[in-house]
Homo-oligomer: A and B are copies of this chain.
Amino acid sequence: MSSTASSQPQKPTWDAIEAAHERIAPRIHRTPVLRSGTLDAMCGAELFFKCENLQKTGSFKIRGATNAIFSLSDEEASRGIVTHSSGNHAAAVSCAAAWRGIPAWIVMPKNAPAVKCRAVEAYGGKITFCEPRVSARNEAAARIQAETGAAMIHPYDDDSIIAGQATAAKELLEETGELHALLAPVSGGGLLSGSALSAKHIQPEIRVYGCEPAKADDAYRSIETGTLQSLESSDTIADGLRASLAPRTFAILQKQLAGIFLVSEEEIVYAMALIWERLKVVTEPSSAIALAPVLKPETIQLISRDRSRPGKLKIGIILSGGNVDLRSLPFR
């Protein structure tokens, strides 16, 4: 975070985010913002849940995928697209490619949830399974790209993807007005870096936090050490949060983020049950993680202490997705 770096506007720019929003708005849902009096009382804050689990394809990923795919020239698009993903980006890319009428090749780890694989197939995506390691994903995608000439749509190390994901926080703040803090899950960092860019542009004093499984803590370690850390594999229940930051998302988060909260597996499941019981929306573990930190008094104290404006504490939470297998739920 040198002074030279901080004087440069980061990419994607606000103009790119606004253009992305205009491009995708006719194709996606403007998802509702839900509230719960019980959860507010439990936390001692007003919580505003941006429900991207109610988004088309069941996650925010359709925002970035639609922006990226509809930003391609006709010639680029004609050769199709290729990507790798543990699930939600895969479904989103398959869906957006179908909207554009082009083929989509999808590399998925072989331990991806069956429900997410079925979604890809339902949208017409062609799946290639690989070992559940980041390196294996990249290799398989590069091979398909070389064979087909398809355009690579990286799940997060891509300005047009980040600009698309940034539109969820933009919509949230347009609806709620000023918030003291915004929490979102972090895996590769596309949603979190996009959310941070939007939120800090609209409201520079807002504190943006990432929420990460303690069992897949590469983003936390990257921010702490100032050096991009990798994560070769993880078995966290938050199956969507098993990727690592990329140079692009790391650079944005280093500059924009207030911090990262690490969350245990038990805390993820507890937050998930609360969201299902209280908000009545189906959220996957990777998504429910963003509620877990504010259930702890020390988080509320931290946000309260750091806030620049007085009044009742207002916190935005991005519920990123809702794709779960109903036949293997973690509730006991």
**Using a CB–CB distance below 8 Å, which chain A residues touch chain B?**
29, 32, 34-35, 37-38, 53-54, 56, 58, 115, 122, 273, 276-277, 279-283, 322, 326-327, 329, 331-332
* Chain B residues whose CB sits within 8 angstroms of the CB of A279 once the complex forms: 54
A331-B326 contact given A54-B34, A54-B280, A282-B281, CB 8 Å threshold? yes
* Chain B residues whose CB sits within 8 angstroms of the CB of A29 once the complex forms: 35
A29–B49 Cα distance when bound, in Å, is: 14
* Chain B residues whose CB sits within 8 angstroms of the CB of A122 once the complex forms: 38
Q: What's the nearest-Cβ distance from chain B to residue A288, in Å?
A: 12
Q: What's the nearest-Cβ distance from chain B to residue A225, in Å?
A: 37
* Chain B residues whose CB sits within 8 angstroms of the CB of A54 once the complex forms: 34, 279-281
Tallying the copies of this chain within the complex gives 2
A53-B280 contact given A326-B331, A331-B326, CB 8 Å threshold? yes
Q: Is the CB of B276 within 8 A of A326?
A: yes
Q: Is the CB of B280 within 8 A of A326?
A: no
Q: What's the nearest-Cβ distance from chain B to residue A92, in Å?
A: 14
Task: Beyond the given A54-B280, A277-B326, A282-B282, please list 6 additional residue pairs across the A-B interface where CB-CB is below 8 A.
Answer: A53-B280, A58-B280, A280-B281, A280-B282, A329-B329, A329-B331
**Lowest 9 CB-CB distances: which A-B pairs, in order?**
A280-B322, A280-B282, A326-B331, A32-B32, A53-B280, A54-B280, A276-B282, A281-B281, A327-B331
A54–B326 Cα distance when bound, in Å, is: 20
A79–B235 Cα distance when bound, in Å, is: 57
Can you offer 11 A-B residue contacts whose CB atoms are under 8 A?
A37-B56, A54-B279, A58-B280, A115-B277, A276-B282, A277-B282, A277-B326, A280-B281, A280-B283, A329-B329, A329-B331
Q: What's the nearest-Cβ distance from chain B to residue A278, in Å?
A: 8
A122–B276 Cα distance when bound, in Å, is: 17
A35–B29 Cα distance when bound, in Å, is: 9
Q: Is the CB of A329 within 8 A of B326?
A: yes
A47–B38 Cα distance when bound, in Å, is: 31
Closest chain B residue to A51 by CB distance? B280
* Chain B residues whose CB sits within 8 angstroms of the CB of A32 once the complex forms: 32
* Chain B residues whose CB sits within 8 angstroms of the CB of A280 once the complex forms: 53-54, 58, 281-283, 322
* Chain B residues whose CB sits within 8 angstroms of the CB of A326 once the complex forms: 273, 276-277, 329, 331
A322–B277 Cα distance when bound, in Å, is: 8
Q: What's the nearest-Cβ distance from chain B to residue A130, in Å?
A: 26
* Chain B residues whose CB sits within 8 angstroms of the CB of A38 once the complex forms: 122
* Chain B residues whose CB sits within 8 angstroms of the CB of A329 once the complex forms: 326, 329, 331
A327–B277 Cα distance when bound, in Å, is: 11
* Chain B residues whose CB sits within 8 angstroms of the CB of A53 once the complex forms: 280
* Chain B residues whose CB sits within 8 angstroms of the CB of A34 once the complex forms: 54
A115–B38 Cα distance when bound, in Å, is: 15
Q: What's the nearest-Cβ distance from chain B to residue A58, in Å?
A: 6
Q: What's the nearest-Cβ distance from chain B to residue A203, in Å?
A: 25
Q: What's the nearest-Cβ distance from chain B to residue A56, in Å?
A: 7
